[in-house]
Chain A
Amino acid sequence: MMTDQIPVCGPGLANTANGLFAHYYRGNIAPDDMLDASGHVRQHWKLLVQLLDHLGPVELEKRWAMARQLIHENGVTYNVYGDPAGMDRPWVLDALPLVFAAQEWADLCDGLVQRARVLDMALADLYGPQRLLNDSVIPPEVIFANPGYLRPLRGARPFGGRWLHVAANDIGRNQDGSFCILADRTQTPSGAGYALENRIVVSRAIPDIFRDCQVSRLATFFRSMRHLLQAAAPHNRENPRIVLLTPGPYNETYFEHAYLARYLGYPLVEGADLTVRDNRVYMKMLGGLQQIDVIFRRQDDDYCDPLELKPDSSLGIAGLVQSVHAGHVTVVNALGSGVMESPALEMFIPRICRYLLGEELKLPAVTSYWCGDEEALKYVLAHFNKLVIKPAFYSADESPVATESLSSKQVETLRVRVLDHPSHYVGEEQIPLSTAPVMIGGRVEARHIAFRAQMVAAGDSYTVMPGGLARFSMSAESMIVSMQRGGGSKDTWVLSGGPVDTFSLLTPPGSPMGISRAGGDLSSRVADNLYWLGRYVERAEAIVRLARGIIGRLVDQNFDTSPELPTLLASLGAQVRMNAPNVTSSNGESLLNNMLFAGDLPYGLQMTLAAVYSTASLVRDRMAIDTWRIISRLDVDFSAKLGKPGRVSELLATLDKLMITFAAFSGLAMESMTRGLAWRFLDIGRRIERGANIVLLGLSTLTADQMRAPSILEAILEVADSAITYRRRYMTSLQIPLVADLLLSDETNPRALAFQLVRLQEHVELLPSSHLGAQLTPIQQILLRRLTELRLADFGRLVTLGNAEDSGLRGFMEMATADLFKLSDLICQKYLCHAAPSRQIGSSTVKINPGYRP
């Protein structure tokens, strides 16, 4: 395709022969953004080319290495669906921006604004009077057979009459260099955040060139976005509460959601954070419910309300549609706006424009043919081999396909499908897409590009972001420009042709800011995840401690002469909830392996570590980078090793390493987390779990008949990390009451039950609505009762009574366990219960989400 190439030459490029662009060639089929038809650098690229040449390839490469580092540190990622390795794919950004001249850009904006207005008005009509259908502007089938047309939204009157608040368009160039719309993004347009991140990286890498080129700044666009969201609030207009709704970390553009939320200053929430009461939307905070006025959503239309839209969506907010009808909340973009993305509609946009605006469409889109129309079908069949065939409506099963790329047999199959259901397909002309220079391994080469322009509503019209996200194809031949399919991105520079507005939303370094110490309120969902993260980490640690004690003995000692071994194994069995293993000398090793590695044992090590990792990834945005690094090492380093049961002696080293990882995690939590609610819930989880584990250890050892041998007590002290303290206090005399006191009642021993209860008392005091006037809350009552029991305990007497009666040591510990469970339940009910996943009754099959937590 690119055989006949034209080298860069011409005036204005003195150094070109040896410079960065010396080997840049353009093809002669597609237009090139930098070079004109005769191979001369276009006027608006000249300054950039000159400055880059001056900088030189070596310096540029050096600076770009730093930029890559910045991208890595900022954690810019793009998730690729259906590819396990695709999670958190690093962002690919090219050093060379795409440049637009001021005038060409202004003309483009004109067309984009007109288009956004048309789409907005069309939405208002389709979800209202449907004049477009009554007057035959659009055939009924295009709307009525369209799964994107959400009937429950008809008759909704969004605040201000606006349906489309933000919009984006993918744009490419025709053969003659003119602009052409490739796609409309009307539902949850992505790209604005990536464009901003790209700009920040590029402008830091080549700040002088950026300044000299007088590039229009992006910040004003985001200022408009903030104004828009603020103005969209139906109530509480002085100080509306605005949230950014994300489907969660598995979404392909999750990075952008988190990034935008931080940049714009709105909380990032998931569906489970919100609830509808009395037709109003609230955010579930630990301190109670807070009404939300505007939802800036990045979640697809039909996933937003399981009650009225997609019934099996676990991401949605039940009752949201009714709340929209009641006018108590504004959703941006309005629910149902996705219908305008249907390829079937494209063919009718010029007509719709004429009908609604009385104007001709200024900016054409790729010519497309909806096969439900007889004439269009004829055309498509006659030109089948040159077109791209797309599903007419959004479809998860089918994607667009260029017939060129198919075998003749595949073409025939597709043709039959189109003939069978013409109205399900659209044929689309292919356009060449222009090329632009991209740095590929130190050389500058031509790649096909498309870019995404962003718009935000302002008053009666729209503002276009002066820039956008440009993307390039993976290879010189490929015209597939998609982050999902490889390729990379570019910054887009719109030359201002004059002084630049340097407004910024980022706080300039050194400018004074009000001091804020309060951690603020915390959403129940985040608190819930932190609480369970604390519990899982502690649980994993308890298992590893026990396992280490066992392995040490399995390696060194003779099973039959070490009475503590079966006891310790039984204790581990109790810890991992494996039914009473009958320990013998021959099955010790296999039992141990099973307890640690069984993939179906919810309390086993394998599944607990998996739970640590998955829970941590849900609160990743709450974690310092270092903390996340530790957690991710847990996954990388251990899941592989632990997957294969090996010789116990080798296992010991792995478990030792695991212990150090836990210690690093705890250390960071203690030393780097501010003492806000987030830290408290992490620690509450940890304290409850540790308390329960130490009692469990006591129950499975101290009261067992056969195990009063000193070696057993020694082993317990070692597992509980209290051997040194004991020896210092009591020299070598091992007695059960003393051990019990040290592990249960000693408030100075960080491993003792009493220590955990004291910490919990402190936390509970500082949680929201923790007081009931002068009365103690049930949570406070339990803590006080249990702590008092521990302080008054006479272990000598308790040990003597032993298992015989409820009042013996066993009963004492069983009551402690019961209280800890009750405590956990009460905390979950009071603070976390709203975070549970919801499910369907009635029309659809009952589906229980995997929200169960062992």
Chain B
Amino acid sequence: MAVYRIQHLTRYRYQEPVTVCHNLAHLIPRDAPRHTWTQISLDITPDATRSMRHDYFGNPMTVFAIDEPHCELQVVSRCMVDLAAPQTSSLFPTGSWESVCKMLSGRPQDEFLAASEFRFRSPQIHWNEDIYNWARQSFTLGRPMAEAALDIGKRIYSEFKFVSGSTNISTRVDEVFQQRTGVCQDFAHFAIACFRSMGLAARYVSGYLLTAPPPGQQRLTGADASHAWISVYIPECGWMDIDPTNHVWPLERHITIAWGRDFSDVSPLRGVILGGGKHEVTVGVDVIPLDADGDGVLITELWT
């Protein structure tokens, strides 16, 4: 069991006043297995009219608008999470990946129907013959589903290079595949495309990851933004998380905020503004593990 305090700050500074803005935030954490949330808050400056609803995938969503001129928008979400340890960290014995395909494409029962949602193309997930062929290598005849899934994660980890700034928000999956570089979001999208090209169900998970600072270095405050990984549907054990960026079990240190078909369903903050001229954006995320006394030890993420 681990307890974390999380703070996620986003600040937009505009060159000229923004007269009206409408925004959509996926910053309030969702119900997820093993996560117990407390002290959730979302502070918006300047004052905004806001509404909450749950989106299609059950993520809490905040829609807010500011209709007085402002040159700066600051959104800070804070929460505490009690992350329960998984029951087991060893690999489930699972059926073959072919049997999963068959189950998913057969007559939908309730649970399979929900998984079907994550089997098809979505705004940012497309694939082609080459991606399918690359993925196919992990899905050998009769291979257990979980093993094949982990293999995809491992191959991305070893064949792709994490290069900050090598992609942008509109880089397509096939471009990531070609250049073999990207950041966590690109690897998540590519992994999802691999699974879906095989007829399997995979979803995009947006959240935070606790990492230790490099040895001998100071922990920085609010050094970076959120993390992304994926979740694959396996009938025997439900959804299994895979982090292709790090090739670690996303268990004790991955904190889930939202999930959807791809990034576009769960982007932490987006908006439409009137005016503003040029703008600059600052994002800072802190994940602070709390010891038994509830005191925080500051640890910061270094992800782009």
A residues within 8 Å of B by Cβ? 130, 133-134, 136, 140-141, 144-145, 151-152, 154-155, 275-279, 306-308, 311, 318-319, 322, 325-326, 833-834, 836-846
A161 and B169 CA atoms in complex are apart in Å by 38
Q: Is B253 an interface residue (CB 8 A)?
A: no
A318 touching B22 in the complex, CB below 8 Å, given contacts A133-B113, A841-B279, A845-B170:
yes
Asked whether, in the complex, the Cβ of A845 is within 8 Å of the Cβ of B168, the reply is: yes
Asked whether, in the complex, the Cβ of A843 is within 8 Å of the Cβ of B113, the reply is: no
CB contacts between A and B, total, < 8 Å: 109
Asked whether, in the complex, the Cβ of B272 is within 8 Å of the Cβ of A839, the reply is: yes
Give the residues in chain A near B107, CB-CB below 8 Å.
136
A145 and B21 CA atoms in complex are apart in Å by 31
In the complex, residue of chain B having the shortest beta-carbon distance to the beta carbon of A841: B271
Give the residues in chain B near A325, CB-CB below 8 Å.
51, 53
Give the residues in chain A near B90, CB-CB below 8 Å.
none
Asked whether, in the complex, the Cβ of A842 is within 8 Å of the Cβ of B267, the reply is: yes
Give the residues in chain A near B269, CB-CB below 8 Å.
842
A318 and B53 CA atoms in complex are apart in Å by 16
Give the residues in chain A near B23, CB-CB below 8 Å.
307, 842
Asked whether, in the complex, the Cβ of B272 is within 8 Å of the Cβ of A144, the reply is: no
Distance from B193 Cβ to chain A, minimum over Cβ atoms (Å) = 14
Distance from A304 Cβ to chain B, minimum over Cβ atoms (Å) = 13
B residues within 8 Å of A by Cβ? 12, 19-24, 49, 51, 53-57, 63, 65, 67, 107-108, 110, 113, 116-117, 119-121, 168-170, 263-265, 267, 269-276, 279, 281
Asked whether, in the complex, the Cβ of A141 is within 8 Å of the Cβ of B120, the reply is: yes
Asked whether, in the complex, the Cβ of A152 is within 8 Å of the Cβ of B19, the reply is: no
Asked whether, in the complex, the Cβ of B270 is within 8 Å of the Cβ of A154, the reply is: no
Give the residues in chain B near A322, CB-CB below 8 Å.
51, 53, 63
Distance from A659 Cβ to chain B, minimum over Cβ atoms (Å) = 38
Asked whether, in the complex, the Cβ of B270 is within 8 Å of the Cβ of A840, the reply is: yes
A302 and B200 CA atoms in complex are apart in Å by 28
A141 and B105 CA atoms in complex are apart in Å by 9
Distance from B240 Cβ to chain A, minimum over Cβ atoms (Å) = 21
Of the residues B24, B67, B169, B270, contact of A277 by C-beta under 8 Å: B67
Asked whether, in the complex, the Cβ of B272 is within 8 Å of the Cβ of A133, the reply is: no
Asked whether, in the complex, the Cβ of A276 is within 8 Å of the Cβ of B168, the reply is: no
Q: A152-B56, A842-B269, A842-B271 are in contact. List 15 more A-B contacts (CB 8 A).
A: A136-B107, A136-B108, A140-B113, A140-B117, A144-B120, A151-B265, A277-B65, A279-B51, A307-B63, A322-B51, A836-B19, A838-B272, A843-B263, A843-B267, A844-B170
Of the residues A152, A154, A307, A845, contact of B271 by C-beta under 8 Å: A307
Asked whether, in the complex, the Cβ of B22 is within 8 Å of the Cβ of A307, the reply is: yes
In the complex, residue of chain A having the shortest beta-carbon distance to the beta carbon of B10: A842
Distance from A413 Cβ to chain B, minimum over Cβ atoms (Å) = 15
Asked whether, in the complex, the Cβ of B271 is within 8 Å of the Cβ of A834, the reply is: no
A845 and B168 CA atoms in complex are apart in Å by 9
A815 and B19 CA atoms in complex are apart in Å by 29
Asked whether, in the complex, the Cβ of B271 is within 8 Å of the Cβ of A840, the reply is: yes
Asked whether, in the complex, the Cβ of A307 is within 8 Å of the Cβ of B108, the reply is: no
Give the residues in chain B near A144, CB-CB below 8 Å.
116-117, 119-120
Give the residues in chain A near B267, CB-CB below 8 Å.
842-843
A841 touching B273 in the complex, CB below 8 Å, given contacts A152-B56, A833-B19, A834-B19:
yes
Give the residues in chain A near B57, CB-CB below 8 Å.
151
Q: Which residue among A140, A152, A325 has the maximum number of chain B CB atoms within 10 Å of its CB?
A: A140
Give the residues in chain A near B272, CB-CB below 8 Å.
306-307, 318, 838-841
Give the residues in chain A near B56, CB-CB below 8 Å.
151-152, 154-155
Give the residues in chain A near B53, CB-CB below 8 Å.
155, 322, 325
Asked whether, in the complex, the Cβ of B63 is within 8 Å of the Cβ of A319, the reply is: yes
In the complex, residue of chain A having the shortest beta-carbon distance to the beta carbon of B18: A841
In the complex, residue of chain A having the shortest beta-carbon distance to the beta carbon of B263: A843
Q: Which residue among A134, A306, A318, A846 has the maximum number of chain B CB atoms within 10 Å of its CB?
A: A318
Distance from B15 Cβ to chain A, minimum over Cβ atoms (Å) = 12
Q: List 13 A-B contacts (CB under 8 A).
A: A130-B113, A134-B108, A140-B108, A151-B56, A276-B22, A307-B272, A311-B264, A834-B19, A834-B20, A841-B271, A841-B272, A841-B276, A843-B169
Asked whether, in the complex, the Cβ of B24 is within 8 Å of the Cβ of A844, the reply is: no
Asked whether, in the complex, the Cβ of B120 is within 8 Å of the Cβ of A278, the reply is: no
Give the residues in chain B near A842, CB-CB below 8 Å.
23, 267, 269-271
Distance from B177 Cβ to chain A, minimum over Cβ atoms (Å) = 18
A132 and B54 CA atoms in complex are apart in Å by 22
Distance from B270 Cβ to chain A, minimum over Cβ atoms (Å) = 3
Distance from B19 Cβ to chain A, minimum over Cβ atoms (Å) = 6
Give the residues in chain B near A130, CB-CB below 8 Å.
113
In the complex, residue of chain A having the shortest beta-carbon distance to the beta carbon of B265: A151
Asked whether, in the complex, the Cβ of A841 is within 8 Å of the Cβ of B12, the reply is: yes
Give the residues in chain A near B168, CB-CB below 8 Å.
845
Asked whether, in the complex, the Cβ of A276 is within 8 Å of the Cβ of B273, the reply is: no
A134 and B111 CA atoms in complex are apart in Å by 10
Give the residues in chain B near A845, CB-CB below 8 Å.
168-170
In the complex, residue of chain A having the shortest beta-carbon distance to the beta carbon of B54: A155
Distance from A618 Cβ to chain B, minimum over Cβ atoms (Å) = 19
Asked whether, in the complex, the Cβ of A838 is within 8 Å of the Cβ of B273, the reply is: yes
A845 and B12 CA atoms in complex are apart in Å by 15
Distance from B145 Cβ to chain A, minimum over Cβ atoms (Å) = 20
A140 and B106 CA atoms in complex are apart in Å by 10
Asked whether, in the complex, the Cβ of A319 is within 8 Å of the Cβ of B113, the reply is: no
A307 and B53 CA atoms in complex are apart in Å by 15
Asked whether, in the complex, the Cβ of B24 is within 8 Å of the Cβ of A308, the reply is: yes
A308 and B56 CA atoms in complex are apart in Å by 12
Give the residues in chain A near B271, CB-CB below 8 Å.
307, 840-842
In the complex, residue of chain B having the shortest beta-carbon distance to the beta carbon of A842: B270
Distance from B108 Cβ to chain A, minimum over Cβ atoms (Å) = 6
Q: Which residue among A276, A277, A322 has the maximum number of chain B CB atoms within 10 Å of its CB?
A: A322
Asked whether, in the complex, the Cβ of B274 is within 8 Å of the Cβ of A838, the reply is: yes
Distance from B186 Cβ to chain A, minimum over Cβ atoms (Å) = 15
A151 touching B55 in the complex, CB below 8 Å, given contacts A277-B65, A834-B19:
yes
A134 touching B22 in the complex, CB below 8 Å, given contacts A278-B49, A325-B53, A836-B274:
no
In the complex, residue of chain A having the shortest beta-carbon distance to the beta carbon of B12: A841
Asked whether, in the complex, the Cβ of B55 is within 8 Å of the Cβ of A152, the reply is: yes
Give the residues in chain B near A844, CB-CB below 8 Å.
169-170, 270
Asked whether, in the complex, the Cβ of B65 is within 8 Å of the Cβ of A276, the reply is: yes
In the complex, residue of chain B having the shortest beta-carbon distance to the beta carbon of A146: B120
Distance from B47 Cβ to chain A, minimum over Cβ atoms (Å) = 12
A319 and B113 CA atoms in complex are apart in Å by 30
Give the residues in chain B near A308, CB-CB below 8 Å.
24
A343 and B295 CA atoms in complex are apart in Å by 60
Distance from A750 Cβ to chain B, minimum over Cβ atoms (Å) = 36
A134 and B108 CA atoms in complex are apart in Å by 7
Give the residues in chain B near A836, CB-CB below 8 Å.
19, 274-275
Give the residues in chain A near B67, CB-CB below 8 Å.
277
Distance from A445 Cβ to chain B, minimum over Cβ atoms (Å) = 46
Give the residues in chain A near B281, CB-CB below 8 Å.
841
Asked whether, in the complex, the Cβ of B120 is within 8 Å of the Cβ of A145, the reply is: yes
